[in-house]
Amino acid sequence: MKINKITSIYFSPNGTTKKIVNKIAHEIGNYDIQEINLNLVENRMMEHNFKSDDLVVIGFPVYADRLPELSKEIFKNIKGNDTPVVAIVSYGNREYGDALLELKDNLMHVGMKVISGAAIIAEHCFNKNVAANRPDEKDDLQIFDYINKLKYKINKTNSINSLPELYVKGNYPYNPLKTHQVPTGDEKCILCGLCAENCPVNAINESNFRLTDGDLCIGCGSCINVCPTGSRAIRNEEFIAFIKNLEIIASQRKEIEVFI
Ligand X SMILES: Cc1cc2nc3c(=O)[nH]c(=O)nc-3n(C[C@H](O)[C@H](O)[C@H](O)COP(=O)(O)O)c2cc1C
Residues of this chain that bind ligand SF4 (CB under 6 A): 13, 183, 185, 189-195, 199, 201, 203-204, 209, 212, 217-223, 226-229, 231-232
Q: What is the pattern of x (binds ligand X, CB under 6 A) and - over residues 193-222?
A: --------------------------xxx-
Decide the pairing of beta strands 5-10 and 32-37. parallel
Closer Cβ to ligand SF4, 134 or 232, answer by number: 232
The DSSP code for 240 is H
Closest by CA to 256, choosing from 138, 124, 168, 129, is 138
Does 180 interact with ligand X (rule: CB under 6 A)?
yes
Q: Which residues pair with 208 in a beta bridge?
A: none
The nearest distance, CB 221 to ligand SF4, in angstroms, is 5
Q: How many residues of this chain bind ligand X (CB under 6 A)?
A: 25
The distance of closest approach from Cβ of residue 101 to ligand X in the complex, given in angstroms and rounded to an integer, is: 14
Q: What are phi and psi of 13, to 5 degrees?
A: -55, -30
CB of 221 to ligand X, least distance (A): 4
Q: Per CB under 6 A, which region of 11-19, 105-113, 156-164, 230-238 contacts ligand X?
A: 11-19
Q: How far is the CB of 180 from ligand SF4 (least distance, A)?
A: 8
**From ligand X, ligand SF4, none, interface partner of 223 (C-beta below 5 to 8 A by class):** ligand SF4
Contact (Cβ atoms closer than 8 angstroms) between residue 5 and residue 32: yes
Choose from ligand X, ligand SF4, none: what does 229 bind? Cβ within 5-8 Å by kind: ligand SF4
Beta bridge partners of 142: none
d(CA 200, CA 196): 9
Geometric angle at alpha carbon 80, from 77 and 85, rounded to 5° = 110
Distance of CA 179 to the CA centre of its chain: 18
Binding mask 90-109 for ligand X (x = CB under 6 A): xxxxxx--------------
Distances (CA, A) of 91 to 22, 65, 189, 191, 235: 16, 9, 30, 31, 23
Q: Give the binding site for ligand X (CB under 6 A).
A: 12-17, 61-65, 90-95, 122, 124-126, 180, 219-221
